[in-house]
Each structure stands twice: as structure tokens, then as C-alpha cells.
Amino acid sequence: MGLSHSGSMGAATPRRAVIEDAGAVADVLILSRRAAGDAIPAGVHSDAEVREWIRTVVIPQREVWLMEDADSRPLGVLVLDEDWVDQLYVAPACTGMGLGSRLIELAKSRRPAGLQLWTFVTNTAAQRFYLRHGFTVAETTDGSGNEEKAPDIRFVWTAP
Ligand SMILES: CC(C)(COP(=O)(O)OP(=O)(O)OC[C@H]1O[C@@H](n2cnc3c(N)ncnc32)[C@H](O)[C@@H]1OP(=O)(O)O)[C@@H](O)C(=O)NCCC(=O)NCCS
């Protein structure tokens, strides 16, 4: 499935992902993470493992939102797990167009009591993004608690 920008970004509407969307959700996560280069440390799981995890764990057990263009091409994914922004990824061709902002606003509307999330210390663009959206730094770690063993930052958001 292609992830290229069709020019119909204005039509992008987040909807709850169902099991049939597992491939599209996985495409966005895998390709976005790969495109992030050094900003996001290499994952410890194969693409096949990621696809299996999305199909058997993430979509059945978590709140998954998929943003698509008018031609049903996947543009962005938001995964909420209790008060955690568990995943937020925009397709590489579509970053910087406001889609991530729409997804984080959706997250706030779904969790008005507050949100938290982890981002890697190396992911400075994401940190800028979260700070602009009212998140603040709660803690910084040496990475010993995550799979990649890479230093990360926990951001929190509380409604003003
Ligand atoms: C981080 C991420 C989710 C943000 O989503 P996004 O769609 O790129 O975010 P937005 O477009 O809403 O805002 C980001 C940038 O676009 C700009 N922007 C916002 N709305 C815009 C618009 N309508 N037109 C042009 N630019 C816009 C912002 O000023 C910002 O610029 P900056 O990077 O110079 O600070 C996305 O870039 C991404 O998936 N990155 C790779 C994966 C990742 O890091 N995920 C987070 C893991 S914790």
C-alpha cells in the first residue's frame, strides 16, 4: 500500500482502526520510524514482529486512530493506552502539514484529564512538537527501562 501524499490532505479524517486496518497501521509505524533516521534508535523487532504485534495486541487492546486521505491511503496513526500516547506517527511524505497536530488534539479530547508519553532524547523534532502542544518534561531517563536502551524523556500534558 502506498503512503504518498495524494493532494487531498484536507479530507484526512481520523477514524477508529479495526483489525482489517492492521496492515495500514503497521505501514505508517514502520515507514515513519525508518524515515526518522538517527532521531529514533533502530527498533529491536523485525517488521514482521511489529505487524503481528499490531494485529494481535495493539488494535484489539488499545484505542487506535487512523487518519487517511480521500483515497483511503494511510497518513497518520495515534494509539492511546489508558492515559498514554502509546504511538504517534505521521507518514514520512506527510509530516509538517499539521496532521500530527490534529492527532494530538484528538488525543487531548479523548483524554481530557491528561496525557503522558515517552520520546527519545535524540528525537528533538518530536520534543519541539510536544512542547508547542503544551506538554512539559516530567523526567529524563538513561534508557535502561526501554527496549532500545536509549535515553528518553517522559512528557506530560494536563488540561489548563
Ligand atoms: C512528530 C510527528 C508526529 C509530528 O507530526 P506532524 O504532522 O509532522 O506535525 P505538524 O505538522 O502538526 O507540526 C510539526 C511541524 O509542522 C509545522 N506545521 C504545523 N501545521 C502546519 C501546516 N498546516 N502547514 C505547514 N507546516 C505546519 C509546525 O510548525 C512544525 O514545525 P517544526 O518541526 O519546525 O517545529 C511527525 O513529525 C512524525 O511522525 N515524526 C516521526 C515519528 C515520531 O517522531 N513520532 C513521535 C514519537 S514520540
Report yes or no on 80 lying in a domain.
Answer: yes
pLDDT of residue 11: 46
When pLDDT is averaged across residues 41-61 and rounded to a whole number, the result is 97
Report yes or no on 132 lying in a domain.
Answer: yes
pLDDT of residue 114: 98
Residue in this structure with the C-alpha cell 538513561, named with its chain if needed: 142
Q: Report CA(58)–ligand 1 centroid distance (Å).
A: 23
Give the chain's domain count.
1
Report yes or no on 15 lying in a domain.
Answer: yes
Residues near ligand 1 with C-beta < 6 Å?
32, 36, 40, 88-90, 95-101, 119, 123, 125-126, 128-129
**In the predicted structure, residue 67 carries a pLDDT above the cut 50:** yes
When pLDDT is averaged across residues 62-76 and rounded to a whole number, the result is 95
pLDDT of residue 12: 72
Residue in this structure with the C-alpha cell 494509539, named with its chain if needed: 79
Report yes or no on 31 lying in a domain.
Answer: yes
Report yes or no on 74 lying in a domain.
Answer: yes
Residue pLDDT, tens place only, 104-159: 999 999 999 999 999 999 999 999 999 999 999 999 999 999 999 999 999 999 99
Q: What is the signed CA dihedral for 119, 21, 103, 12, rounded to 10 degrees?
A: 140
Q: Which domain holds residue 98?
A: 9-157
d(CA 71, CA 152): 36
pLDDT of residue 13: 82
Which candidate, 109, 151, 156, places its Cα nearest to that of 137?
156
pLDDT of residue 6: 45
| Residue 35 cell numbers, joined | 524515515
Q: Report CA(129)–ligand 1 centroid distance (Å).
A: 6
Report yes or no on 1 lying in a domain.
Answer: no
Residue pLDDT, tens place only, 7-26: 455 547 899 999 999 999 99
Q: What is the CATH number of the domain that holds 29?
A: 3.40.630.30
- Point out the ligand 1 atom lying closest to the alpha carbon of residue 132: 35
pLDDT of residue 109: 98
Report yes or no on 139 lying in a domain.
Answer: yes
